Copies of this chain bind each other. A is one copy, B any other.
Amino acid sequence: MSEKVSYASSGVDINRQDEALKRIKPLVKATKTPGVRSDIGLFGGLFDARFPEAKPILVSSMDGVGTKMKVARRAGIWDTVGQDLVNHCINDILVQGARPLFFLDYIAAQQLEPEVIEQIVKGMATACKAAGAALIGGELAEMPGVYAEGEVDVAGTIVGVVDEANLLPRLEAMAPGDVLIGLPSSGLHTNGYSLARKVCFELEKLDVGDRVPGSDPEKGQTVAEALLAIHRSYLAQVMPLVKAGKLVAMAHITGGGLTDNIPRVLPSTLNAEIDTASWEIPVLFRFLMEKGGLGLDDARQALNLGVGMVLVAKADRVEEILTELHKAEEPAWVMGRLVAGTGVVTYR
């Protein structure tokens, strides 16, 4: 009378899920920090909330990596997106002054491939360890019919802490004459991938192994290298400046570019005036702009154009900040300043 419906015939394979879990357990364990109070398998991840900060404030952020996932699939390289995801989250709370405590992830796919999951989690664990963050929880979901054939998505949440005294931005401390310091991005980071894929793979019909047009034909990056370049974390370089109270604000340049992200930390009485001659737009961005027919205004609102993080400091601290950053091998530069205005970005 009845057809037997096992979980496998309904499209969900518990064995694949078990195999994936088995592979990621040691990776997750290796990220354990002293604050962690739980092992894998509990319903929730436990983290000690007795912080050394005088007035601790939790800072949290949740994110994905957009259609960079599709580039990963095309190139068959999966560990970088895990790092992208964690670093993106780290930077999002770093701009408020927070150090990361723990991270949780969600990986969902049309079909869970244990070796793909392992590579993604390996990337997440690598980035977590580098930042001293514990990978404390997560969820694997096999969702046939929701995701397109062979596709995977990831999302992650980071929770960090900052002492109220170090919380950024300090809107009341910001004034005309404050200086914008740029820190280079490592590539597109996690934004602009629908555009980049359209230009590279549809319009220009490039293969992931081709070199980026306009780059050195011998030593230039391949399309895969350029598009999968890991979204870097600015934690190590910037946290000492935060703790020393040397910054008044910081903006992580993600979707929306310089144009939309800097205003998120501007008071409504100041503009950020950017000196566009202060850095050279990297070749990948110039290529995407040219072949995509993307004007400067649009590009500045869609791509980071080589600037991944913008620091704002009082003018009299800029020299020591640059010295400190250069000592840490961070090629930071003065890219503009605050002027009286209405809370927007202007370019000159």
Binding site for B on A (CB under 8 A): 2-7, 9-12, 37, 41-51, 53, 55-64, 66-67, 69-70, 92-93, 95-96, 98, 102, 104-106, 108, 110, 136-139, 141, 143-148, 151-153, 155, 157, 159-161, 167, 194-195, 197-199, 203, 251-252, 264, 290-294, 298, 302
Q: Shortest CB–CB separation between residue A258 and chain B, in angstroms?
A: 14
Chain B residues closer than 8 Å to A198, beta-carbon distance: 5, 9-11
* Residue of B with least CB distance to A49: B56
Q: How far is the CA of A137 from the CA of B98 in the complex (A)?
A: 16
Please, could you name 25 A-B residue pairs with CB atoms under 8 Å apart, sorted by A?
A: A2-B290, A2-B291, A3-B203, A4-B292, A5-B198, A5-B203, A7-B302, A44-B93, A44-B95, A46-B58, A47-B58, A49-B53, A50-B56, A58-B159, A63-B106, A67-B143, A67-B144, A106-B155, A110-B148, A144-B194, A147-B148, A147-B153, A148-B148, A157-B157, A159-B159
Assuming A57-B49, A60-B44, A102-B60, is B155 touching A108 (CB within 8 A)? yes
- Does the CB pair B199–A292 fall under 8 Å? no
Chain B residues closer than 8 Å to A136, beta-carbon distance: 60
The 8 closest A-B pairs by CB, nearest first: A4-B293, A157-B157, A49-B56, A5-B292, A2-B293, A62-B104, A106-B155, A44-B59
Chain B residues closer than 8 Å to A145, beta-carbon distance: 67, 70, 148, 151
Q: How far is the CA of A284 from the CA of B29 in the complex (A)?
A: 39
12 A-B pairs besides A12-B195, A60-B102, A157-B157 with CB distance below 8 A are A6-B298, A7-B302, A44-B92, A47-B58, A49-B56, A60-B137, A61-B137, A62-B106, A64-B139, A64-B141, A139-B155, A147-B153
Chain B residues closer than 8 Å to A251, beta-carbon distance: 43
- Does the CB pair B61–A11 fall under 8 Å? no
Chain B residues closer than 8 Å to A4, beta-carbon distance: 292-294
Chain B residues closer than 8 Å to A139, beta-carbon distance: 62-64, 155
Chain B residues closer than 8 Å to A104, beta-carbon distance: 60-62, 157
- Does the CB pair B57–A46 fall under 8 Å? yes
Q: Shortest CB–CB separation between residue A37 and chain B, in angstroms?
A: 6
Q: How far is the CA of A192 from the CA of B59 in the complex (A)?
A: 35
Chain B residues closer than 8 Å to A195, beta-carbon distance: 5, 7, 10, 12
Q: Shortest CB–CB separation between residue A59 and chain B, in angstroms?
A: 4
Assuming A106-B155, A290-B2, is B49 touching A161 (CB within 8 A)? yes
Assuming A66-B141, A141-B64, is B194 touching A7 (CB within 8 A)? yes
Chain B residues closer than 8 Å to A160, beta-carbon distance: 44
Q: How far is the CA of A5 from the CA of B302 in the complex (A)?
A: 12
Assuming A3-B293, A144-B194, A155-B139, is B69 touching A45 (CB within 8 A)? no
Interface core residue of A45, A60, A108 (most chain B CB under 10 Å):
A60
Chain B residues closer than 8 Å to A37, beta-carbon distance: 57
- Does the CB pair B106–A43 fall under 8 Å? no
